[in-house]
């Protein structure tokens, strides 16, 4: 049984570490307190996180836990940071070509048609040298074989340089890992959930002050208390308990 242990899980330590990743198909996942809690109870999710190519610390709680458990100072890398870094790199790489035969291709899988339309509109302005493709899967807990194949086919027709998957954890991570070998993607793949809504402008991200003081979670709780109270109030306590277990567990 795959079992996640934060004290021995390999995590990217700095945002600039993205610059040395191989430019080939790589699955990049994020981990925060909520996803860690889920992975403790969900074997398939834990496997998807641990056996992906790169795991980034999307949460102050993970950064602090790594310091406490391992004595290591790492940098928080939010899903938003990953998104902006990868999009800018592909934009600049395409822009700097002497002759642009074709634009860099970016595929967004997930969310609603309305959100995806807003993403495409903004991306066309922010990243004019990139071609944006989207696909909105059915809103359901599990996909049929035909629905999975339709998503795979939509991606493979494009052969994107970047693939973003936003279907919330743990569904997005498990889907990406399960179908990784079937996806014809030239570059990096990222499971970035809420970033779709942040970029589309349908959900407001916490102001910079809240981010810098490790309070982005509290800002989201204030904005969406009915949806987020269980994740943050109960989930944060559960995460602290798990960290205490890990600290004093010799296994």
* Cα 43 to Cα 54: distance, rounded to the nearest angstrom: 18
The lowest-confidence range among 19-23, 93-97, 192-196 is: 93-97
Does residue 68 lie within any of the structural domains? Answer: yes
* Cα 35 to Cα 235: distance, rounded to the nearest angstrom: 10
Interval 165-189: pLDDT, tens: 999 899 999 999 999 999 999 999 9
Question: Is-cis flag, bond preceding 101, omega within 30?
Answer: no
Does residue 213 lie within any of the structural domains? Answer: no
Q: C-alpha distances in angstroms, 157 versus 32, 35, 132?
A: 33, 31, 13
Across the range 66-79, mean pLDDT stands at: 95
DSSP label at 231? I
Does residue 102 lie within any of the structural domains? Answer: yes
Give the confidence band of 100 by pLDDT, cuts at 50, 70, 90.
low
pLDDT of residue 197: 94
Helix (H) or strand (E) holding 87: helix 79-95
Can you name the residues that pair with 190 across neighbouring β-strands?
Answer: 28, 164
Task: Give the number of domains in the chain.
Answer: 1
Q: Tell me the CATH number at 42.
A: 3.40.50
Does residue 237 lie within any of the structural domains? Answer: no
Give the confidence band of 228 by pLDDT, cuts at 50, 70, 90.
confident
Across the range 7-32, mean pLDDT stands at: 94
| Cβ proximity of 61 and 236 under 8 Å | yes
Does residue 244 lie within any of the structural domains? Answer: no
Average pLDDT, the chain: 92
Does residue 172 lie within any of the structural domains? Answer: yes
Does residue 234 lie within any of the structural domains? Answer: no
| Cβ proximity of 6 and 72 under 8 Å | no
Interval 124-170: pLDDT, tens: 999 999 999 999 999 988 999 999 999 999 999 999 999 999 998 99
DSSP label at 169? T
Is the predicted pLDDT of residue 76 greater than 60, yes or no?
yes
| Of 30, 47, 51, 27, nearest in space to 39 by CA | 47
Interval 22-46: pLDDT, tens: 889 999 999 999 999 999 999 999 9
> Which has more pLDDT, 129 or 97?
129
pLDDT of residue 101: 67
Across the range 92-114, mean pLDDT stands at: 85
- Look up the domain containing 118 and give its range: 23-196
Is the predicted pLDDT of residue 251 greater than 80, yes or no?
no
Does residue 105 lie within any of the structural domains? Answer: yes
**Residue 191: Cβ within 10 Å count:** 32
């Amino acid at each position: 049984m795959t079992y996640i242990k934060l004290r021995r899980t390999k995590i990217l330590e700095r945002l600039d570490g993205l610059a040395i990743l191989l430019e080939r198909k790589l699955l990049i996942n994020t981990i925060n307190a909520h996803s860690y809690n889920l992975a403790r109870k969900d074997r398939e999710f834990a496997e998807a996180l641990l056996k992906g190519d790169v795991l980034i610390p999307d949460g102050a709680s993970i950064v602090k836990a790594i310091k406490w458990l391992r004595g290591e100072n790492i940098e928080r890398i939010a899903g938003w940071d990953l998104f902006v870094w990868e999009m800018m790199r592909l934009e600049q790489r395409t822009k700097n070509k002497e002759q642009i035969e074709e634009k860099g291709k970016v595929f967004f899988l997930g969310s609603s048609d309305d959100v995806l339309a807003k993403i495409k509109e903004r991306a066309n302005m922010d990243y004019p040298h990139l071609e944006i493709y989207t696909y909105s899967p059915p809103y359901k807990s599990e996909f049929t074989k035909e629905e999975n194949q339709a998503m795979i086919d939509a991606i493979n027709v494009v052969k994107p340089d970047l693939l973003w998957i936003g279907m919330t954890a743990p569904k997005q991570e498990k889907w990406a890992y399960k179908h990784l070998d079937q996806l014809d993607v030239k570059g990096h793949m990222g499971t970035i959930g809420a970033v779709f809504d942040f970029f589309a402008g349908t959900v407001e991200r916490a102001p910079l002050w809240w981010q810098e003081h490790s309070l982005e979670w509290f800002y989201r709780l204030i904005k969406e208390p009915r949806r987020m109270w269980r994740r943050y109030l109960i989930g944060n306590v559960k995460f602290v308990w798990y960290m205490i277990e890990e600290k004093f567990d010799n296994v």
